[in-house]
Every structure is written in C-alpha cells, then in structure tokens.
C-alpha cells in the first residue's frame, strides 16, 4: 500500500516510523516522475510489510523537501530511524531501485 506524505504528517509517518520508509518526492508536471510512479507502486506492493512507501508532492508540501535539500525530482529518500539512509535521484529501473532498497530491509 502506498501512502501520501504531507508537511503535516511527515514527522509521524516517516520520521517516527518503526520500519524503513521510501519517500518519492514528485510533482504532477514532472515527466520523469510519471515514468517512475508505476515502478514505485509495484515496489510498494512487493515490499509491503517490510518497507513503507509513499509519495510527497513538492508543490503542495514545500517544507520537508526544502529541509532535505531536494533540488530535482524525482528524488527518493530512504529513512531509517528518522534519518536519511539513502538518496536516489532521477529515473532508474525497478531492479536497480530494489537492489538499493534491499540493504535497508531487516
């Protein structure tokens, strides 16, 4: 299941999460973001229970993207224990993203 993260729920759902969290920073006008969206959706389904996956619209939620220095989208951050454990920027294959995520799963 995929979650929607906002400036209002980010601390509770991401920073305080007991599981690793993948945050997809995106915007509706971003072509590469639309390319990655189905890949992120598939990963959310495949890793459900091991990894929380969600998206954050950077146009509607400027606070946390700014705080984490998101300069281009799509950017994907993996959070563990409230800290950034991994950053991935741009488009990539599902296999590459899964390989990167595997090292953060318990």
Of 23, 33, 47, 51, which one is the catalytic site residue? 33
* 33 counts as catalytic: yes
* Cβ partners under 8 Å of residue 54, min gap 6: 2, 3, 4, 5, 13, 14, 21, 22, 23, 24
**94-97 own/partner pairs: CB under 8 Å, 24+ apart:** 94/39, 94/42, 94/43, 97/39, 97/40, 97/43
Of 14, 21, 22, 30, which one is the catalytic site residue? 30
The residues annotated with a catalytic role in the active site are 30, 33
């Amino acid at each position: 299941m995929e979650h929607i993260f906002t400036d209002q729920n980010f601390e509770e759902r991401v920073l305080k999460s007991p599981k690793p969290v993948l945050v997809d920073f995106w915007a509706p006008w971003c072509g590469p973001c639309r390319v990655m969206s189905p890949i992120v959706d598939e990963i959310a389904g495949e890793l459900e229970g091991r990894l929380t996956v969600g998206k954050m619209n950077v146009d509607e939620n400027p606070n946390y993207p700014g705080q984490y220095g998101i300069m281009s989208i799509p950017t994907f951050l993996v959070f563990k224990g409230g800290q950034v454990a991994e950053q991935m920027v741009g488009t990539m294959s599902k296999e590459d993203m899964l390989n990167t995520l595997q090292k953060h799963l318990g």
